Structure formats: C-alpha cells, structure tokens
Amino acid sequence: MLYNFLFSLNVVVPVFAVMILGYILKKTDVISAGFLTSGNKIVYYIGLPAQLFRSVYTADIREYMDLRFTLFALIATAASFFIIWGAAAIFLKKDPPVLGAFAQGAFRGSFALLGIPLILNMAGDAGMARAALVVVFVVPFFNVFSVMSLAPCSGKKPGVLTIIFTVIKNPSNIMIAIGMALSLLNIPLPDMIFGSINTTANIATPLALICLGGGMVFRGFDVKFKYAVIGSLIKCVLIPIAFTVAAYLMGFRDYDLAVILIMGGIPSAVVAYAMAVQFGGDTYVAGTIVVITTFMSAVTLTIFIYAVRALGWVVI
C-alpha cells in the first residue's frame, strides 16, 4: 500500500512542484508579466510544436498503431465534449460566452504539456508509445471541439470552413502532420536538424509549467465561480472515473489504462483561456477552471493512480 502511494506521489508531485516554483517566482518579482506573455508565446508557437513533432517523429506509428485503443480515445473524447456541451446548454443557453468557456474547460485537458510528462513518469517509454497515438489522432480534435463551443460567442455558428481553417493553421497540428508524414515514410532527418528540434522541445514542458504557475491568480468568489467549480469537478473527477471504468470494462489494462486515466484526469489546458479570449468567451470562467483543475488534479490524480494500482488494474 505504501509503495503504491509513494509511486503515485512520484508521478504527480514533480510536475506540480515546478508550477509552484513559477508562482513563487512571479510573486517575488523574479519573473514579470512580460516574461509570462513571451514565455507562453514561445511554448505555443515553438516549444510545444517541437515537442509534439518529436513525439510523433520518434514513434514508429505503424508498429505501435492500435486501432482499438485509438478509437476508444477518440470516442471517449468526443462523447465527453458533446455530453458536457449539451447538458450545459440546458442551463446556459442564454449565455453563450459562459457556455463556451464552461464546455471547453470541462472537457479539454492539457495532454501535451502535462499529460506527456505524467505518462513518462508513470509508464515510461511503453506508455509514451500510446501517448503518441493520442497526440496524433486525438489532440487535433481538441481544437475542433473548442471552436465549436466558442464560435457562438460571437453570435455566429461555426461553419465547416472556419473549423477546418482553425485546425490547419494551428502550429502544433502542422508539426504533428509533418512528423507523422516523416515517420510513415521513414524519412530520416539529419542529426543537426533533429538535435536542434530536440533541444527546442526540451524547453516546452518546464517553461510551460513555470508560466502556468506564474499566471495563476485567485480573483475572488464571483457569481460565476460556481460554474468554474462544477466544470472543475467534471474535469478532475467525473471524466477520469468514466474513462477509466469504461476502459477497464472493455478490457484495457496496464499501460493502456494508465494513459486513458491520465488523458481523462489532467487539468484543463492553459490554451483554453487563450481561445476564450480570442473567441469572446467568458475569460473569468475559463481562467478559473484552469486554476482550480490545476490544483485539484494534483490530489485527484494521486488518488486515482494509487487506486488503479492497488486494484491491480495497472501493473507496471
């Protein structure tokens, strides 16, 4: 029992410790708001695309391709979005900005920035092979569903061309496509080029965690705070339980189940706030969900990882 608990802490604590470091650095004025703005741009436009490219390029997709696992991840993600969006629309239909921010924050996880390091800590290279499938086939749909939920904030329904254009121009999606093409065609990159990409990719996670921690601000209890709390509970409790139980009943175990658990239980993506700003969503709800889920998931993921190991569902 003690071993499983310590294992769970070893998976979760290092990631969130760096976030706390970022918070301390910002509070002590070691880093400024300008640093956070520039740092987030570096992560979004350079570091994260390089990291995703590396994950896809170095993974032998043909060897690790698992159609059953991939379909489950896709269907689970799509189902969680449409159920949350549809249910929330019953109560928030007259407030599209809040509805869009709520739906996006409750379903969209920060898989690339937080999920990958957590999976690496928990499941090693075997888990990363499964994580690569999520990055290639599931992460691009995050943008599709986010646009669908936020586009009505401007008073317009998202057209097919709008969604397609948003997905195509996303830098991470572009690098995923390039990495996938090179991997499938077995086209090797010169060492100097891959080495440069690899070095660039290495800055993504620590810089993102520091910026995320530095940008965390508690804005007080607002009338919309309850929406953020509900969205956070859905993201950190209901979704990981639903994903994990459904996956277990379908026969997924060990590395597969570990990746599915983390995919469902990671906190809301920081980019969800940026997209809320861009599309006119409620930035308070979006930002608060990010902050709450970030801290909540440190506890819930520890409990869930401990639980699946104690139950024998994940033996790695």
154 close to 279: Cβ distance less than 8 angstroms: yes
- Is the model's pLDDT at 300 over the cut of 60? yes
Residue appearing with tokens 């969680």 = 80
Q: Dump pLDDT digits (tens) for 128-151.
A: 778 878 877 888 788 788 888 887
Confidence of residue 279 (pLDDT cuts 50, 70, 90): confident
DSSP string, 51-98: HHHHHHHHS-HHHH--HHHHHHHHHHHHHHHHHHHHHHHHHHTT-HHH
Highest mean pLDDT among 9-18, 31-40, 73-82, 205-214: 73-82
Which residue bears the tokens 């590395």? 255
List residues bridging with 109 in a β-sheet. Answer: 268
Output the CA–CA distances (angstroms, integers) from residue 163 to 77, 148, 182, 193, 286, in the order listed: 17, 8, 26, 32, 20
Q: Which residues of 124-133 are buried (b: 16+ CB within 10 A; e: fewer)?
A: eebbbbbbbb
Contact present, 265 and 103 (Cβ < 8 Å) = no
Per-residue tokens: 9: 């802490």
Q: Which two tokens stand for residue 133?
A: 């499938």
Q: Going by C-beta distance under 8 Å and a sequence separation of 6 or more, which residues neighbour residue 126?
A: 255, 316
Residue 75 pLDDT > 80: yes
Q: How confident is the model at residue 228, as a pLDDT?
A: 93
* CA-atom Rg of the chain in angstroms: 19
Give pLDDT, residue 249.
96
pLDDT, tens digit (0-9, with 9 covering 90-100), for 29-45: 999 989 988 887 888 78
Average pLDDT over residues 172-193: 89
Comparing C-alpha atoms, which of 200, 176, 179 is closest to residue 188?
A: 179
| Helix (H) or strand (E) segment spanning residue 278 | helix 271-279
Distance CA 211, CA 254 (A): 32
Distances (CA, A) of 292 to 236, 264, 274, 285: 10, 16, 17, 10
Three-point CA angle 251, 252, 257, nearest 5°: 150
268 DSSP β-pair partners: 109
β partners of residue 24: none
Taking only the tens place, the pLDDT of each residue in 79-131 is 999 999 999 999 888 888 999 999 999 999 988 777 887 887 777 767 777 88
CB 55 within 8 A of CB 119: no
Largest CA distance in the chain: 55
> According to the per-residue pLDDT averaged within each range, which of 80-89, 129-138, 264-273, 293-302 is highest?
80-89
Q: What is the mean pLDDT of residues 18-34?
A: 91
Fold of 2-310: Na+/H+ antiporter like fold (1.20.1530)
Cα(258)–Cα(122) distance, integer angstroms? 8
pTM: 0.80
**Mean pLDDT across the stretch 49-56?**
84
